[in-house]
Amino acid sequence: MTEETTQRLALRACAIAVGLVLAGTADAQSAIEKTKPMKVANTSPDIAGVPQIGRNADAIKRNLKRIKLPPGFKIDLYAIVPDARHMAVAPSTNLLFVGRLVPNKKPEDLIRLASCWKRFVSPDVRLVLVGKLPRRRGYFDALQALAYEEGFTPEEVVFTGHVAHDELLACYAAARVFVSMSEHEGFGVPLVESMLTRVPVLAYSSTAVPYTLGGAGVQFTEKRFAEVTETAHALATDEALRGLVLAGQDRRLAAFEPARVLAALRAQVESP
């Protein structure tokens, strides 16, 4: 695929990317309302409750106060439950990736990066992998085995599978850094979503990734895990660096304004 073809495909794809994370809280509330009439069948009513007060709840509430969302978004503690949303916002440094769990996305490299963080930086790290699980059961088993071999519990490397829109927003809101190790990408919708939700992006600069980011975020060309891990840690903890990276991502978002996308797409289509 030529560079020009890649750019054209990226421009066409970005037309559908803008607005994917702008459904807002109305969709989230609608999803919650739909679940209220539901009942669990064939389940004993004597299920141990999850504590809704205490140190864990207080820590989560403190975390939520630090989350910055775009205008029109908000996130509140609805309940403490042992699901993907709870794991996404519980106290820890959350590294997020959104995308299908397929070999070209290199989720195994994300697990290795998290392992490097846990061993040499801090044990308080969580890798949240959001996206459809592999069709090949053997590949998913291998990913789980790798996480286990690296010393992770299921709450430290979280495979959420496909999630609802409000759950996806919760994962972005709780993420400290979005990390991509993918080695084959078309237009990177999750990269745009990360910029919209103001999550610093750390990405392997492969295929269409640099065209999507346009110089924004932090990109690397070699997978030197120690160095990439240190960079991720700096993005998570150095507020001055975070501010610079987020400012660059904010500027990049201007390229995805509908009028500019339409003009660029028209120029490509009408070019000889």
Question: Is residue 210 assigned to a domain?
Answer: yes
* Mean pLDDT for the chain overall: 80
User: Is the model more confident about 236 or about 25?
Assistant: 236
- Model confidence at 271, in pLDDT bands (50, 70, 90)? confident
Q: Would the pLDDT of 59 be above 70?
A: no
Q: Are 129 and 110 in contact (CB under 8 A)?
A: yes
**For residue 29, which of 169, 176, 196, 192 has the smallest C-alpha distance?**
169
Question: Is residue 89 assigned to a domain?
Answer: yes
For 26-35, the pLDDT digits (tens) are 444 444 444 4
Say what the pLDDT of residue 178 is.
Answer: 98
CA trace torsion 32, 33, 36, 38 (10° rounding): -90
**For residue 225, which of 105, 97, 112 has the smallest C-alpha distance?**
112
pLDDT more than 90, % of the chain: 61
Q: Would the pLDDT of 126 be above 70?
A: yes
Q: Would the pLDDT of 58 be above 80?
A: no
Question: Is residue 43 assigned to a domain?
Answer: no
- Model confidence at 78, in pLDDT bands (50, 70, 90)? low
Helix residue ranges, H only, the chain: 3-17, 24-35, 55-66, 84-89, 107-120, 137-149, 165-174, 189-196, 209-213, 225-237, 239-253, 258-270
Residue 221: how many other CB atoms lie within 10 Å: 9
Average the pLDDT over 239-265 and give the result. 94
Say what the pLDDT of residue 136 is.
Answer: 85
**For residue 201, which of 253, 257, 270 has the smallest C-alpha distance?**
253
Say what the pLDDT of residue 272 is.
Answer: 80
Average the pLDDT over 244-251 and give the result. 96
Question: Is residue 264 assigned to a domain?
Answer: yes
Q: Would the pLDDT of 174 be above 70?
A: yes
Question: Is residue 50 assigned to a domain?
Answer: no
Count of structural domains, the chain: 1
Question: Is residue 136 assigned to a domain?
Answer: yes
Question: Is residue 147 assigned to a domain?
Answer: yes
User: Is the model more confident about 231 or about 51?
Assistant: 231
Q: Which domain holds residue 138?
A: 3-28+55-270
Question: Is residue 109 assigned to a domain?
Answer: yes
CATH number at residue 123: 3.40.50.2000
Say what the pLDDT of residue 92 is.
Answer: 83
Q: Would the pLDDT of 110 be above 50?
A: yes
Q: Does the pTM exceed 0.85?
A: no
Say what the pLDDT of residue 183 is.
Answer: 97
Say what the pLDDT of residue 70 is.
Answer: 64
Q: Would the pLDDT of 45 be above 60?
A: no
For 192-228, the pLDDT digits (tens) are 999 999 999 999 999 999 999 999 999 999 999 999 9
Q: Would the pLDDT of 88 be above 70?
A: no
